[in-house]
Structure 1
Amino acid sequence: MPLKYALVHEWLTPKATGGSELVVREILKHIDADLYALIDFESTNPESYLFNRAIGTTFLQHFPLARRGVQKYLPLLPLAIEQLDLRAYDVILSSSHAVAKGVLTGPDQLHICYCHTPMRYAWDLTFEYLQSSLAGSGVAGVLTRYLLHRLRQWDVVSANRVDYFIANSQHTRARIWRCYRRHARVIYPPIDLDRFQMQTEKQDFYLTVCRLVSYKKISLIVNAFNQLGRPLVVIGTGSQMSQIKHMAKSNVQILGWQPDEVVQQYMGQAKAFVYMACEDLGMALIEAQACGTPVIAYGAGGALETVRDIRQHPDSGTGLLFSTQTETALIEAVQTFEQLNSRFDPQKMQSHVAQFDRKRFEQEYLEFVERCQKKQFSSLRGRGNSPLNRENPSPSEKFG
């Protein structure tokens, strides 16, 4: 019998369409795995690739307002993920940015976690979360701090349930070590670069695409362009939508959510793509470069791996990096970009981001899973329940 695979993700909803969901989709293309999540509202979505798929969920599926964001039940997420019964599977694959890695497994099971980030609101964004939350001050603030403290403890303990970690960037790899003291293999997430058409003729506007939430620092970008007076297009939606609309001057267009084809069109036509957040990788930065569009980004986190500053790489630069998350720093970067704009080569941008293509992810991920299987199950030879007694193919043979 072949090995049985389970793939665990945090939540599957129409609004969850980021990089972690792309990883889930790509894994399912190549590995025949049963899918599990805290909640699922995609299998009933006719427009989803998961439509009519059987997906295992938790008790949170039936909670009121879960569809709008299960994060509101944060204290229950660790308990919920531990209720998934995965005893029937040989290999557990998790795609985790919060609690998916915390599923319970047995000694004869292999658990490989693709970690998009250690839980941000429990670690890096703790104080920003407290500052922006209504429950961040007073008596409620004390309780929230205690909750986050216990959440960090659970997060570290649950990391020990993972046999092998994969990180989506060198930045995430360092954070995994800092939070869990665990080593991780870096495999960049899959990006379908064929979807993005390079355009050499640009129009006179700047672009940013992201969720409109506090840590993305969209308000700083809008304020900077209010001062610059240069045209800016903002695509995305989120809790700060009304605030951003209120502060934007006439040179700033807020388009809200847009379908992929519209986003791709704007990415190809933009003079430059602007980004202020510190991301673990930042897939939008890669997508912009695939369109031949230079990037102006805060020089921290994944941007240091995906963007080449033209001042340090004059022959192969793909953008400009600025050192502080301030309006002043962004304004200076845009003004510098205006002076250096003619030096950017769209062809070199496209060549640079080829390392992030989904085909490379497929090869590296399947090879890593195969090596982990051989190492894990070789120690179980002679045991009656060993998958090695089943004449099982490797992932690359079975699904490649």
Structure 2
Amino acid sequence: MKIALVHDYLTQRGGAERVFELLCKRYPEADVFTSLYDPEQTIDLNERLVRTTFLQNIPGAAKYFRLMAPFYFPAFRSLDLQDYDLIVSSSTSFAKAVRKRPGAKHICFCHNVTRFLWDTQTYLREYGDYRYFYPLLERVFQMMRKADLAYSQEPDLYVANSSTVVRRIRQTYNKKALLVHYPINDRRFVFSEEKDDFYLASARLISYKRIDVIVEAFNWLGWPLVIMGEGPERERLEAKALRNIRFLGHVSDTERANLLARAHSVIVAALEDYGLVPVEANVSGTPVIAYGAGGVLDTQIPGKTGVFFNRQTPDALQVALLNASEIQWDYDQIRHHALNQFSEDVFFSKIERIIEETCGLHQLRI
């Protein structure tokens, strides 16, 4: 069986890219396709040949990949995938639009519905300068929504990473989806029962991650906080942070693993569709204090692996932090939960059964 692996764009390194990296490693003979590829800024594919679209030839497109939004659907439609028996797309937006030949199958790992089209106001809040062009953007987005709905019918099967995304796929695209929690590469993380006296946040420093809520809470508490990650919000956040808060920017994978293992707890204030950071913390033996909505409802057990707060406010987070400080955490149990539910072995045992059944050997029930 000839397989094509397709991702929206390989120009950054986020949770969706880490999942695609696992798929590439699992299927080393599969051909890899994407719209834009910047090997310096994304996952490590070693010497793997990555086939791109005509967008790759536009100067600066990889750096300003968000500005290419109106051209992604035509780019993916232009890919020639007629030789492939199975297409596995990894998409938050565009890769689901690829064409397949009659008789071939297309499984889409949908990390979310196309967010900037269906949650436009939140998207514009993250990129404040765009709001000035909203009237023009909205006309473009109206056309793109029609295309997104049409192309959303291309995959034979959707696989979603959380119950939140399953619901969005059904509501937006009128398609059913299988729920399979995405895994982490547990070999990249270390376990420690010894915790140091600091809390940790790991995220891109953009507005919807709500690092501002975390900073304000720790300003008030005075507890030590370490923040990993880069982004356009860094300067503003650093300006409001007191001396108990340190910003590390980008760190190596080794340093990141050590920080996750040694932190007292990992803080997540964003509404995440799924969120790999809480699972990465758990596999390191570290509890999570998270805004109790979205993907964490699938990955965390209150009082066992983490604590939820119900509003994205400093006050609510402070209460959760104080409550968590009273819990005697079982770090072994936290790690066992992550390994038992979110390991690569668990993930691929489900995925390979799905591929087998989708390709016609059994009737797949959803």
Q: Give a deviation string over 1:106-140, Cα, whole Å, max 9, x none.
A: 3322111111111122223x112233432313xx2
Corresponding position of 2:321: 334
Task: Pick the aligned partner of 1:41 from 38, 41, 49.
Answer: 38
Against the structure 1 CA distance between its residues 73 and 347, is the aligned structure 2 distance closer, same or farther, given a 3 Å change threshold?
Answer: same
Report whether the alignment pairs 1:18 with 2:11.
no
In the TM superposition, what are the counterparts of 1:1-400 in structure 2 within 5 Å? 3-13=1-11, 16-31=12-27, 32-42=29-39, 49-124=44-119, 126-131=120-125, 132-137=127-132, 140-310=133-303, 317-338=304-325, 340-341=326-327, 343-354=328-339, 355-374=341-360
Larger Rg: 1
The 8 Å contact of residues 235 and 257 in structure 1, kept in 2 or not, is answered as yes
The one-letter code matched in structure 2 to 1:337 is A
Q: Give the TM-score normalised by the residue count of structure 2.
A: 0.93
The 8 Å contact of residues 110 and 376 in structure 1, kept in 2 or not, is answered as no
The 8 Å contact of residues 205 and 230 in structure 1, kept in 2 or not, is answered as yes
Aligned-partner Cα distance in 2 for 1:177–1:84: 27
Aligned-partner Cα distance in 2 for 1:194–1:53: 22
Structure 1 residue 92, shift from structure 2 partner: 1.1
Q: Secondary structure at the match of 1:297?
A: strand
Q: Give a deviation string over 1:44-69, Cα, whole Å, max 9, x none.
A: x5996423322211111122222324
Aligned-partner Cα distance in 2 for 1:352–1:254: 30
Runs of 4+ in 1 over 3 A off after TM superposition: 45-49
Aligned-partner Cα distance in 2 for 1:95–1:46: 18
Q: Secondary structure at the match of 1:36?
A: strand
Q: Secondary structure at the match of 2:317?
A: helix
Aligned-partner Cα distance in 2 for 1:239–1:306: 29
The 8 Å contact of residues 292 and 346 in structure 1, kept in 2 or not, is answered as yes
The one-letter code matched in structure 2 to 1:7 is L
Q: Secondary structure at the match of 1:253?
A: strand
The 8 Å contact of residues 60 and 70 in structure 1, kept in 2 or not, is answered as no
Q: Unaligned 5+ residue runs, structure 1?
A: 311-316, 378-400
Aligned-partner Cα distance in 1 for 2:224–2:182: 32
Aligned-partner Cα distance in 2 for 1:192–1:53: 19
Q: Secondary structure at the match of 2:290?
A: strand
Q: How many residues align?
A: 360
Q: Give the TM-score normalised by the residue count of structure 1.
A: 0.86
The one-letter code matched in structure 2 to 1:330 is L
Relative to structure 2, which stretch is displaced further, 89-98 or 146-155? Answer: 146-155
The one-letter code matched in structure 2 to 1:325 is Q
Against the structure 1 CA distance between its residues 181 and 322, is the aligned structure 2 distance closer, same or farther, given a 3 Å change threshold?
Answer: same
Structure 1 residue 151, shift from structure 2 partner: 2.3
Once superposed, what is the RMSD of the aligned Cα atoms? 1.9
Structure 1 residue 11, shift from structure 2 partner: 1.4
Relative to structure 2, which stretch is displaced further, 191-200 or 274-283? Answer: 191-200
Aligned-partner Cα distance in 1 for 2:319–2:144: 40
Q: Give a deviation string over 1:284-338, Cα, whole Å, max 9, x none.
A: 101111111111000000111111111xxxxxx1111011111111111112222
Aligned-partner Cα distance in 2 for 1:46–1:144: 27
Report % sequence identity: 35
The one-letter code matched in structure 1 to 2:93 is A
The one-letter code matched in structure 2 to 1:40 is Y
The one-letter code matched in structure 2 to 1:261 is T
Structure 1 residue 196, shift from structure 2 partner: 2.2
Structure 1 residue 17, shift from structure 2 partner: 2.1
The 8 Å contact of residues 356 and 362 in structure 2, kept in 1 or not, is answered as no
Structure 1 residue 375, shift from structure 2 partner: 5.6
The 8 Å contact of residues 13 and 42 in structure 2, kept in 1 or not, is answered as no
The 8 Å contact of residues 168 and 187 in structure 1, kept in 2 or not, is answered as yes
